[in-house]
Structure 1
């Protein structure tokens, strides 16, 4: 019996504070579009957050802030499932089982651990090392078929596919004998959509926009007001040349390419259309237009986020409801995994 998997999207955002334009364009904006096409689970991945040291009070605040960002951006918590990871035990439970399926050699090849651990790898947490296994569990607990990911997470998704395949192969006889078909877990597919999936720093076009950058001028925070957005855009690094009229002219001009990409993503258009409109002109006029687009798009989101986080009980109720709905999907899958593995329940 060939197993078929109904389309289901899973994605998560870490509650690490200072949500910015890169988070919005790279992930949250995509969530809004996907909710009209698929069954979606959007998770605040707080278990992932504690792979590095966190201030408990700040973590509580940022969990709520990420949930607020989802809703403020247009994700409907009634149509979709919005929840925080730690409220659904299936994530941690499945991570252990899949950790016994994954191989150390696979994890040793994960480039993000090397980057995040730096030179002092011996002092990094075990959780940071096994982070990709937990990510696989996040996805496979719901037997999700599609995962919106950025370039920096593609390797982790490939690992999730490898883990799913190995589990299906290792337990193929049990999976078949117990009536689960020829495969229990799907091979989740990446969803990489749209322009500006990788938003760069406003101060250095070669670096990704990041909350950890010491300069607040390097990013547009989702909670920035109109004046802050305008100031940051106008001060964004550029070069002395006018904007080109074609995309080929952006080659070797990372700051120009970044700003054009941001405009295209916020305006819902293509880079070529932006360059056709502004090509040959000076950056000052283009930046004024970018300010208008950014303020129009992000201003209402920031205002709604602030309103939502001012009522934490309301956010907590949405997360609790989402966790209960997520648990209802994951619990039968975890029970089946235990059955397949041979645990007595």
Structure 2
């Protein structure tokens, strides 16, 4: 329809003498044609991005449940040290990491190299790394069951990243929605190259350990698809080297906890309004205040309706995730209270659940040498695995 309309308008512009269209009408036609063409371009770009992610998913990567993972599977995931883990991170990722280590030997990285792709405070980064390590351990990550390490201590990450960058094209990296969103914040187009190459480094993180499975949220699917694509490309060019990584999907109901201030978007560390999230180290008073001010609506009843009542439904999703109560059970339990009182009830549930994590984290932060030793031991184990992979890669590419 857009194509036909554009052709009609353009022909009309060319043949205006024959149609005897006055200048005022021609002005309106030109403006309308410009809007139609602009919307067509935006639509084509969005379809291009969608096709890119869809085709990679269809051709190279796939989702799996934990039941399909074997003892020989290699599980890898990472988290940036900047910012404190919030409830969305915990429920959507970290809690799943803890569960996975009970049956497998996963590798978890504190990805500090990724954290320097955006403006950061270099003076506080070392403490942020230790805080992240302490929080992960307090959440249940066991260094005797998992490899927990600091990314920058394993130099092979950067080396493999360079090799993979030489296989990656600019259009591939330019399509990533996260790059477009984050680069928009920079003035005068002074976007750091590191931000552009972020997906290539993430691919190196995954392939360096010959990862077979990656637990991720929906917003990271495109990154895993790139890893699968580059693994396939490298294997075809130089011989079988990397497994094609698959995603492990988080439980559907808790995969994406929403912002407490804007329930149309996910809960995020980067959102400027601190009231948009519950951080694992928040005090009971802070948690109560944040939940009290969370966005809901004018309806007083408590029931689950994510389409028409996203704010209340988001709170109920958190409640469900922390207690395993069904939405119907929560609704029945709250039949005689309004959303204001429900917020206070939920705040107490969150406070009680996070209390041991918060106390354990604060305790570990007083044992910095212990945290450093854990990360060093993890880095040694990770380096041993990474060294063999990089040697194999170098040999195959001829250097």
TM score, norm. by length of structure 1: 0.89
Note if 1:68 corresponds to 2:134: yes
Higher relative contact order (CA 8 A, sep 6+): 1
Distance 1:49 1:71 in 2: 20
Note if 1:237 corresponds to 2:302: no
**What is the CA-CA distance between 1:130 and the residue it aligns to?**
0.6
Find the partner of 1:187 among 230, 237, 244: 244
Find the partner of 2:225 among 155, 158, 175: 158
1:99 counterpart residue number: 165
- SS of corresponding position for 2:282: coil
Distance 1:95 1:235 in 2: 44
1:139 counterpart residue number: 206
Equivalent residue pairs, number? 328
Note if 1:312 corresponds to 2:368: yes
**What is the CA-CA distance between 1:55 and the residue it aligns to?**
1.4
Distance 1:75 1:56 in 2: 26
The CA deviation string for residues 51-107 of structure 1, in whole angstroms up to 9 with x for no partner, is 112211211111111111110001101111100100001111110111111222211
Note if 1:40 corresponds to 2:106: yes
1:25 counterpart residue number: 91
1:197 counterpart residue number: 255
2:387 counterpart residue number: 331
2:144 counterpart residue number: 78
Find the partner of 2:181 among 115, 118, 122: 115
Note if 1:89 corresponds to 2:155: yes
Decide which moves more: 34-43 or 117-126.
Answer: 117-126
The CA deviation string for residues 97-147 of structure 1, in whole angstroms up to 9 with x for no partner, is 111112222111111100010064831111100100100000100011111
1:180 counterpart residue number: none
| Distance 1:164-1:307 versus aligned 2 partners, 3 A rule | same
Q: Which has the larger radius of gyration?
A: 2
Equivalent pair of 2:84/2:132 in contact (CA under 8 Å): no
- SS of corresponding position for 1:43: strand
1:295 counterpart residue number: 351
TM score, norm. by length of structure 2: 0.78
Distance 1:270 1:91 in 2: 43
1:278 counterpart residue number: 334
| Distance 1:11-1:243 versus aligned 2 partners, 3 A rule | farther
Find the partner of 1:6 among 72, 76, 89: 72
* Structure 1 vs Structure 2 CA RMSD: 2.0
| Distance 1:122-1:60 versus aligned 2 partners, 3 A rule | same
Equivalent pair of 1:32/1:74 in contact (CA under 8 Å): yes
